[in-house]
Structure 1
């Protein structure tokens, strides 16, 4: 007969589970999950902070650009205002210079007319004082309406005693004074028409006229309303 199969020994029972190891494994897995969750939250927090920082930088950049644009706009406006101000000032200056030139021209023309009239008046006054003509006299000699022959000498004779002059001056230093007289002979005004070049002599002549006060009447009882009187130191 065939041999009988060998008898197998029964398998040993599995070892009992190590509960401590399982607990430790679960603890490690929990810690790992917690760590990953914490890392995720930290990453999310950093991402949020980075985003906020980027948004802040973008906002600051926009604000800086706007401020720069606004400053440039104000600078351009100020520049235009200053240019307009300078242009207005130049226009006013040019207008003032033009007006000043026009006024100076008009003043010169007025002065020329006044000087011409003055010279004509002085010529008439001189003709009255120095005239020696009589009624019916020919040429340019004054007629009977002019002063008499010796009237000019009488005028000078009245004023000379009042001339007080102690300084030195050339004998031919001529001071010409226009004298205005009231109908009664009272001197109502005097003006130095031409200076002798010696101020002290001019003042001495003017003071002498002031001291005189009244001029004599002519032979016909009248006094010329204005006359030109000339004095030199040598006449004293």
Structure 2
């Protein structure tokens, strides 16, 4: 495991929880549905956007926690294709969060060899959001460590339908033999290609559903739910989820 950086303050609760993990059984890809920001704020008499701001600050903490134990890919469900239905003011605030997050955190992300990636559709996103995210992608493209993958303007049903349409067109054009279509080939037509499927999905806020998130990729992922809202979800909680993952036997339909 990599040494904790200064923000953990020496022998922290997080470091002790991390040291109890089996370093030979760390999930390669962890996906997180960061839910409950608005409810966290409302419980405290704050506007919903205050919860989104606190949730944004938590992204770096969990990113560094994942990086510390050797997770290869951390996917954060930042904004779904359905989230456009939210109030206009809230959507506008969410679209501006990358402008605050990346300029403030990019140097530490680079120093920790983190590479930024985006999974989703650029169409519909404001130009300033896209530019900020693309700048972060460009600045970290040569990094070889943890991939911090933001699912932004992402919806899994749309992703699969788009993949099917492109695969069908390639078959029509003679680029693909329909008889040779299999799971591996179809995965190449998804937005997550070439990332591995998530080994573990974490969802906060007590909701027990996956909300149109990586429906194909989560087929054999371990699922872990917590009642904690995302701003309350700390490094020790993240390691608790990893510890639970390590207690499970992944059989993939076998014995």
Normalization by structure 2: what TM-score? 0.17
Q: Which has the higher contact order (CA 8 A, sep 6+)?
A: 2
TM-score by length of 1: 0.18
Select the structure that is richer in helix. 1
